[in-house]
Amino acid sequence: MSNFTPYQPPQSFPPPQLAATDAAPTPGAYYAYIIYSISMALLYVACVVGGVMCLANADSFADTDEDRFSMMLLGGVLIVIGLPLSIIFGIVPLLPRKKWCWIYGIVLISIGLTSACTILPAILLLVFWLQTPAKRYFGV
């Protein structure tokens, strides 16, 4: 007689290691991710340009010293936030197919979840990003 009972937990096997190979087809989520990243980089470049405009034209936009200070503060914040994020999103097409790049993608998609303007594309992209074809493409 065998010792098998239907109440035993299933035997676990180590998960197979998926390697990022050139034979893995490029998933559609990857192309959507590239478009998303370039769009976000352009959005943050526009923020930097707006910040420079606020700093350069603070006198013409403001009637009082308080308004002038507000315009200078807004310009500084736009530049400080927009410049690093435009670089972070802009380098995505240059990244290799490594496991850390897939995690980097999750972080960038999550940044898009913080804005009312980009939450819908970010949710749709995240759904496809977490599926097996995208993971296999990066060797996760």
pLDDT value of position 69: 86
Q: How confident is the model at residue 5 (pLDDT cuts 50, 70, 90)?
A: low
- pLDDT tens, residue by residue, 82-139: 999 999 999 999 999 889 999 999 999 999 999 999 999 999 999 999 998 889 888 8
**Helix pair 119-129, 99-112: axis angle to 10 deg:** 150
| Domain parsing of the chain, residue ranges | 28-138
pLDDT value of position 79: 95
Neighbours of 49 (CB within 10 A): 13
- pLDDT tens, residue by residue, 15-66: 555 555 556 688 889 999 999 999 999 999 999 999 999 888 877 777 777 7
